[in-house]
Amino acid sequence: MATRRPYMRPMAGWWRRNPFYLFYMLRESTAVFVTLYALQLLYGVYTLTVGQAAFEAWLARLQHPVYIVFHALALAAALLHAFTWFNVAPKAMPALYLGTRRVSDRTVVRVQFVIFFVVSAIMLGVALGG
Amino acid sequence: MTQKTIDIEVLRYNPEKDYKPSYQTFEVPFADETSVLQGLQYIKDQLDGSLTFRWSCRMEICGSCGMMINGVPNLTCSSFLRDYYPGKLRIEPLSHLPIERDLAVDQTDFLQKLESIHPYIIPKENQSVEEGPFKQTPAQRERFYQYSECINCLLCYAACPQYGLDSDFLGPAAMALLHRYNSDSRDDGKAERMPIVNAQEGVWACTLVGYCSEVCPKGVDPASAVNRNKVNSTLDYFFRFMAPKGAAE
């Protein structure tokens, strides 16, 4: 009888082995930017409680090129974060049925995009109009 | 006319001789219709009879011949050498599973997990033969049908880095089959299966990489089975939390 000696391959660097994993890591890393942005915004709200001068100083600081680059990156990360989540949402939510017919995954994804664009347009309208 | 040939690089491992696996390249003649599996069979028949791999049906039904082809989990019976020409192929045993010998992996872990989920219909009350079969409408069948297409080929386990990092994770196929029985109108075994879903090694070890659904040769969507059960697990938790002790279900 032959000797059994099962060999386990190492996992080190697994996420570099396949473009799919690389994109997954990119998707997950967007959370870092979203967190930093949220903290930064929270700080802005905090300066409001300190007083007008503090808030305006914070606003002035945001004009710095470093902040502008950060915001551009955070926006890109937030969009990737949102879009990739829209795409996986049909997997995370219970299967939807209209009568006996299953609502297709593609429809679920599309409806989210439509809502996203409509809400974004309204908010942009309010922000620019107001 | 000279026949086209392609290089197939195979990961070899002989537990009696080798400290660790290493690659060996074979030159294999092929035609348009030669599958990767047939390429391996050519090696075994003509070049090196010691090459070890599993196969059976040759038509995407048995789920025995799953391997990594150029790093991607695939059934070798339904992959064709022509699609890799003029490049070469690197064939390895399915990732994340222990290599028994050459291209054959140890499937014990999955088989134990499969058994643990009670992969059969547990009826509320048994019905006698005279009472006839349990009936089901097409709409009820539709709720679980795609998950019942699983052929246990383990490509999804080879696709799942979370399983590779921690093999305690129940994994995609077992969860898809668990969901298949839980979603069946004839089944009443959900209460037995929920502790498996709720465990850390159940749905909560999944981070929705999503590659399992991508590589499934049968169009099953195991990622949806796992992630829908995160919702079920959460609801299960709250309902148990809110229900008074000793209350009936």
Last residue of a domain, one of B51, B72, B105: B105
**What integer is the mean pLDDT of B189-213?**
93
Asked if residue B247 belongs to a domain, the reply is no
| Smallest Cα distance from A19 to chain B, Å | 10
Q: What is the pLDDT of residues B45-102, one digit of tens each?
A: 999 999 999 999 999 999 999 999 999 999 999 999 999 999 999 999 999 999 999 9
Nearest to B206 by CA among B246, B153, B149, B162: B162
For residue B246, what pLDDT is reported?
57
Fold annotation for A15-92: 3 helical TM bundles of succinate and fumarate reductases (1.20.1300)
Q: What is the pLDDT of residues A95-123, one digit of tens each?
A: 888 877 888 989 999 999 999 999 999 99
Residue type, A33: F
Last residue of a domain, one of B105, B129, B149: B105
CB neighbourhood size of A47 (10 A): 17
What is the CATH number for B190?
Answer: 1.10.1060.10
Task: Confirm or reject contact between B162 and chain A (CB < 8 A).
Answer: no
What is the CATH number for B82?
Answer: 3.10.20.30
Residues B135 and B227 in one domain: yes
Task: Confirm or reject contact between A52 and chain B (CB < 8 A).
Answer: no
Contact across the interface for B223 and A88, Cβ inside 8 Å: yes
For residue B242, what pLDDT is reported?
79
B99, B106, B223 member nearest A91 (Cβ): B223
Task: Confirm or reject contact between B99 and chain A (CB < 8 A).
Answer: yes
Task: Confirm or reject contact between B106 and chain A (CB < 8 A).
Answer: yes
CA distance B221 to B150: 9
Cα atoms in the Cβ-side hemisphere of radius 13 Å centred on A78: 12
Contact across the interface for A11 and B161, Cβ inside 8 Å: yes
Residues B115 and B238 in one domain: yes
B9 pLDDT above the threshold of 50: yes
**How high does pLDDT run on average in chain B?**
93
Task: Confirm or reject contact between B98 and chain A (CB < 8 A).
Answer: yes
User: What are the start-end ranges of the H helices in B59-189?
Assistant: 108-116, 138-142, 155-159, 161-165, 172-182
Asked if residue B182 belongs to a domain, the reply is yes
For residue B41, what pLDDT is reported?
97
B248 pLDDT above the threshold of 70: no
Residues B138 and B100 in one domain: no
Q: Quote the crossing angle between the two packed helices B222-242 and A65-92, to the nearest 10°.
A: 90
- At B243, phi and psi to the nearest 5? -65, 135
Residues B88 and B185 in one domain: no
Residue type, B165: L
Give how many domains chain B has, as a whole number.
2
Residues B101 and B112 in one domain: no
Residues 109-138 of B with CB under 8 A from A: none
Among chain B residues, CA nearest to A25: B209
Measured torsion, CA atoms of residues B210, B214, B219, B222, in degrees rounded to the nearest 10? -20
pLDDT category at A130 given cuts 50, 70, 90 is: low
Among chain A residues, CA nearest to B15: A5
**Contact residues, chain B, for A7 at CB < 8 Å:** 13, 15, 20-21, 98-99
ipTM of this complex prediction, to 2 decimal places = 0.89
For residue B249, what pLDDT is reported?
46
Which domain range does residue B224 map to?
108-242
Residues B138 and B199 in one domain: yes
Q: What is the pLDDT of residues A41-83, one digit of tens each?
A: 999 999 999 999 999 999 999 999 999 999 999 999 999 999 9
Last residue of a domain, one of B38, B71, B105: B105
Q: Domain residue spans in chain A?
A: 15-92, 93-130
- Which is higher by pLDDT, A102 or B248? A102
Tokens 């908010």 locate to A123
